[in-house]
Amino acid sequence: MTKDRKAIIVGASSGIGREVAKLLLADGWHLGVAARREEALLELKAMAPERVEVMTIDIMTPDAGERLQCLIERLGGMDLYFHASGIGKQNRSLEPDIELRTMETNALGFTRMITTAYRYFAERGEGHIAAITSIAGTKGLGPAPAYSATKALQAKYLEALEQQAHQRGLRIRFTDIRPGFVDTALLSDGFRYPMLMRPGKVAHDIVRSIQLRRHVRIIDVRYRILTFLWRLVPRWVWRRLKL
């Protein structure tokens, strides 16, 4: 990575987004960091005040795209857009608030931000969009219907934009990042998740995947094997599995 590259990270206040921000800063990138909590973003800025711009953005609000554009202007451009914002919970009882908020955040909010970044890169003619989806989009998961559905949507949306960019002759790269279970606040629901990964390790894999311009990256090898096997399970068997 060159020292004059500029990246914007939405969802940089905690978890994977924060870890990726720290790695890019260490590598000399200029960053625009965004999230709802300004205090956590200012902590990132304190690490390299001259190379970090801060903007509070709630991807659920209608002006989120405009605020992203303002952050791009503040940063003086953007080479990489990294989307690390999202929510998800197990919701076997289908509590309406949980399902609808997950749909709104992971589908509507995601689309709002990704399309803003895409339009910017389309006008510029090149760029790189990377986003955290999930292995949960591989199959419909009964314990988390809205989460698995929106993660499948995100993966397909990126795939569609990648095809469109190619057809339009745009040099826009896409990296669909699909982690398994990561030890972040997203999984602070009291359930004991198997094969739990540390955010720092996942962040290193993400940065490496961006460097190599991978199209799809499942993190890590255990989850690559697991999702391969999931795809082989017929629907009539899948619906009988206890998750």
The predicted-structure confidence for 52-67, as pLDDT tens digits, reads as follows 999 999 999 999 999 9
Percentage with pLDDT > 70 across the chain: 95
Burial (CB count <10 Å: 0-12, 13-18, 19+), residue 130: buried
Note the pTM of the prediction, 2 decimals: 0.94
Q: What is the overall mean pLDDT for the chain? A: 94
Residue 84 has pLDDT above 90, yes or no: yes
Per DSSP, the residues of 162-228 read: HHHHHHTT-EEEEEEEEE--BSSGGG-SS---SS-B-HHHHHHHHHHHHHTT-SEEEESHHHHHHHH
Q: What is the pLDDT of residue 1?
A: 42
Greatest pairwise CA separation for the chain in angstroms: 57
Per-residue model confidence as pLDDT tens digits over 114-136: 999 999 999 999 999 999 999 99
Section 177-189 average pLDDT: 76
Q: Which domains does the chain have, with CATH numbers?
A: 6-238 (3.40.50.720)
Q: What is the pLDDT of residue 193?
A: 66
